[in-house]
Amino acid sequence: MSRKLLLEHINVPGIETYEVYRKHGGYASVEKAIKKLTPDEVVEEVKTSGLRGRGGAGFPAGMKWSFIDKKSGKPRHLVCNADESEPGTFKDRFLMEKLPHLLIEGMITSSYALGANLSYIYIRGEYMWIFRILERAINEAKAAGWLGKNILGSGYDLELYVHCGAGAYICGEETALIESLEGKRGNPRIKPPFPAISGLWANPTVVNNVETIAAVPWIINNSGAEYATIGLGRSTGTKLISASGNIKNPGVYEIELGLSVDEFMNSDEYLGGMSSNRPLKAFVPGGSSVPVLPANLIFKTANGEDRLMTYESLSDGGFATGSMLGSGGFIVYDDTACIVRNTWNFSRFYHHESCGQCSPCREGTGWMEKVLNRIENGLGREEDIDLLWSVQAKIEGNTICPLGDAAAWPVAAAIRHFREEFEFHIRFPEKVKSRDHFVSEPFDQVKHLLAKATV
Amino acid sequence: MEKVHYTQEINITPQLMERINVLISHYPEDKRKSALLPVLHEVQDAHENWLSIELQNKVAEIIGIQPIEVYEVVSFYSMYNQKPVGKYMFEFCHTSPCCLNGVENLMDYTCDKLGVKVGEITKDGMFSVKGVECLGACGYAPMLQLGDFYHEHLTPSKMDQLIEDCKAGKITLLAEI
Ligand SMILES: Cc1cc2nc3c(=O)[nH]c(=O)nc-3n(C[C@H](O)[C@H](O)[C@H](O)COP(=O)(O)O)c2cc1C
Ligand code: SF4
Ligand code: FES
């Protein structure tokens, strides 16, 4: 189960340079696409592969490409989303740092498919050293004739540039990203129109995650049908997982979709179990925006089936007992972690990152942060839990972009699965005074107090 | 609240101007405004890591847009500093996955050692400490950003060393173009 498509050559010394990358078959997909396939045939291969967007939403990439407006005759653009700011996610950075040419190759092949002659990689401003790596790699690719005018004598022209953000999670949302690329504040646009019709400078635009684009060369080299045989069901191919928290081997892993959560968590090939051999308490499988799950729902679904690393299995049970694969930001908590503190921390993040356009998000995230902060610090009231529930419910579905939902879901899930921990904070304020309250006394050891406490 | 007006010396060197022009050339001729974010980074890097109103006006003039278009961008994005910062600004990621690996204690340690609170600058203007949101290094926590680079898997003794290295001028802040 350790098939590597993206990271096949990761351990080859010098693979970040053009020469070594090329020697190991790099840029073959560009040659094949441009010399042997029409743009529409490239789109078809990607459709057949079943590749789904790796940025979080999991939308089929080939289908998204087929929506791009080719009739209006306006210039088209491909924009790579390298904003990577979802807490728990650090895979795109790994890929770009180690395999910059894989991303560039994917950008060229994909731009050809879309008929884009001017494409961009939008990278978060904090990754400035990677911005430089990509700039250098683009220059190398250009010098070798893979970019510029009349690529491989085909008549196809492509210019590719890197653009940097400057510290704003919201710019990962595709329409905010486009605004930011136009030199403006990152305020998401109201959809429709979708970027495929009116995106960058009102031109038809496709926005795809780094990992999505990096999967394209393999698909073109080996065929979409071959890609579709890897993985499980509608979760085709491999996925990069960023693993962090209380585990032995944090880092970035390429897994074949369909691997069991148990094997991923506990085998030495992957995370190697818990870092200090403490009991597992909870996990977040897909970045801070997806619901947290308690220990009893991690390895098995509510029906008692094995929980697998697929889009379908991780969301099995809906929000009642499931979560989401999201961006693949896999965060593991042991019994010393405090769910209330973690939820407050995430709420602070969303409040800080809200662009402020919609009142439910702007005000609601502020309220959630404030109420969670007082509960965490032993100043909560019994009715605060219901208050939190009602605030999150009022944000969800009532905003311009999904950041509102992303802020609401973690709060809802924490209350759904860990309500007792909130009650404990409210009823035993003296027990949560120190920041590390569950380090000396994990919740499991003090939970019995709740039974005796009356409201 | 009293509003302090911070001033700085503006110096757009020919070398900086050349780089700005390269960045502007990455966008269609009638879309120069698109270059604003990358240009602001370069200009800020060349001006002790902050952007005064006068400097923002200068950027507006170079790109050919209204000053307000620059102000609204500078005030939106967290990486642009609107007032002076410490020469060595330790930006610790304080989002949850990093907290699971002890960043809060390490921030306390660093603040105590430097004699500042989060958000403050040491009297000599050398250091400041900030808490920022997830930097995409969650598996290598605790960590901080210093200039263009990340310092990961930190411990109190690595922090001591880093501070010493800064004082000795051994730390590079900007990635080579
Ligand atoms: C608040 C917010 C932040 C997002 N951040 C990112 C991000 O950092 N990287 C990313 O690829 N997608 C991010 N997305 C998803 C993008 O909007 C978009 O769906 C994605 O880039 C499409 O690429 P894909 O189909 O290849 O996944 C974010 C969405 C929202 C609502
Ligand atoms: S939901 Fe939040 S982040 Fe998204 S547009 Fe509305 S205010 Fe901005
Ligand atoms: S949470 Fe600290 S780098 Fe992601």
Answer whether B92's CB lies under 8 Å from B129's CB. yes
Cβ contacts of B133 on chain A, cutoff 8 Å: 85, 87, 169, 349, 352-353
φ, ψ at A323 (rounded to 5°): -140, -135
- Average pLDDT over chain A, rounded to whole? 97
Q: Give the residue from B148, B32, B139, B125 showing the smallest Cα distance to A247.
A: B139
Q: Give the residue from A346, A388, A389 showing the smallest Cα distance to A169.
A: A346
Tell me the β-bridge partners of B7: none
The answer to whether A117 faces chain B, any CB pair under 8 Å, is no
Does position B139 have pLDDT exceeding 90, yes or no?
A: yes
The answer to whether B97 faces chain A, any CB pair under 8 Å, is yes
- Would the pTM of this model clear 0.80, i.e. be above it? yes
Share of chain B above pLDDT 70, in %: 99
- Residue A60 tokens, joined: 């089929």
Single-letter code of the amino acid located at A141:
A
The answer to whether A435 faces chain B, any CB pair under 8 Å, is yes
Q: Which residues of chain A have pLDDT under 70?
A: 1, 453-455
Q: Of A242, A243, A435, which is closest to B104 when you measure between CB atoms? A: A435
Total length of chain B:
177
Residue contact A166–B138, C-beta within 8 A: no
- Average pLDDT over chain B, rounded to whole? 96
Share of chain A above pLDDT 90, in %: 98
Q: Give the residue from A196, A200, A144, A133 showing the smallest Cα distance to A30.
A: A144
Mutate to test the pocket of ligand 2, among A362, A368, A400 (most ligand atoms within 8 A of CB): A400
Q: How far apart are CA A273 and CA B111, in angstroms?
A: 34
Q: What is the pLDDT of residue A142?
A: 98
**Confidence band of B12 (pLDDT split at 50, 70, 90):** very high
Q: What is the pLDDT of residue B22?
A: 98
- pLDDT tens, position by position, B34-93: 999 999 999 999 999 999 999 999 999 999 999 999 999 999 999 999 999 999 999 999
Q: How far apart are CA B153 and CA A377, in angstroms?
A: 28
Q: What is the pLDDT of residue A452?
A: 75
Single-letter code of the amino acid located at A408:
A
DSSP A2-25: ---SSSTTTTSTTTTSHHHHHHTT
Q: Give the residue from A179, A228, A206, A169 showing the smallest Cα distance to A51.
A: A228
